[in-house]
Structure 1
Amino acid sequence: MKKTSNPFTIHPPVGPYVHQVINSGYQPKWLTLSGQIGMTKEGDIPSEVSKQFELALKNIKSNLLMAEMDVKNLVKLTIYLVEEIDLEERTKALKEFLKEEETAMTLLYVKGLANPKLKVEIDVVACK
């Protein structure tokens, strides 16, 4: 069974999509998130790429929590960046986000995202 939802703790979707789709009728339970962006609950987008990165990770945690999951359930992150984040800063943010967990990860630099203000988008797959 497919269940869709949008966490109330983050911004509403900015287009005709939902933040998460859960395959809940089977074991294991799979969670697929739409690309999470660096936007506050109020809809603000900071100009700094590092702040957007931190917000996107925070929004991922909110989605995981709503799906009764945690970072230990992550299967894969696909990170899209429009501009570079200092390697040490990016690594530090990811380590703080992941704690001691490991996951598959792909990082891509792209020309642009759906909104010209956006510099970060992260796709997520998780399983419990």
Structure 2
Amino acid sequence: MKVHNPITIAAPLGAYSNGICAPAGGRWLHIAGQVGVLPDGSLADGVEAQADAAWRNLLAVLADADMGVEHLVKVQHFLIDPADLPVYGAVRKRYLGDARPASTLLFVAGLAQPGWKVEIDAVAWRM
């Protein structure tokens, strides 16, 4: 994959790329929104635990497709409370490491279920 951060626009404001091109011939994986629900169906308690569970869920879907974070092309992050951003950002950094997919962060009024604080969806690509 080729990263595109043109010098004619501002540099990314964080740990992401402005654009990524994936060559033809690979496999695409579109990952549905992952939330802080644990394998037993219960909701993790608090934003840090929910973010951790959502990232573990997302990585499980990647692994099931024989992919890892290095294959992420685009990630969208949805948070309810802007005050949760520092905690969420630390969890995100822990899981992404040096990967820099294109990213969008949105603060939303609510998610699909009461109590959900974090949702992450993504697109991945692998040759």
The question of a shared fold, defined as TM-score above 0.5 by the shorter chain, is answered with: yes
- 1:1-80 matches, cutoff 5 A: 27-80=25-78
CA distance in 1, matches of 2:66, 2:40: 24
Show CA shifts across 1:15-39 (max 9, x none): xxxxxxxxxxx82100001100111
Superposition deviation, residue 90 in structure 1: 2.5
4+ long deviations beyond 4 Å: none
Secondary structure of 1:101's match?
coil
Partner amino acid for 1:38? G
CA distance in 1, matches of 2:85, 2:34: 20
Partner amino acid for 2:58? I
TM-score (norm 2): 0.75
Q: Identity of counterpart residues, as a percentage? A: 37
In structure 2, do the counterparts of structure 1 residues 109 and 88 end up closer, same or farther at CA, with 3 Å as the change threshold? closer
Secondary structure of 1:96's match?
helix
Partner of 2:81: 83
Aligned-residue RMSD, C-alpha: 1.5
TM-score (norm 1): 0.74
Equivalences, count? 103
Partner amino acid for 2:36? G
Superposition deviation, residue 100 in structure 1: 1.4
Highest CA radius of gyration, 1 or 2?
2
Structure 2: tracts of 5 or more residues without a match: 1-23
Structure 1: tracts of 5 or more residues without a match: 1-25
CA distance in 1, matches of 2:33, 2:89: 20
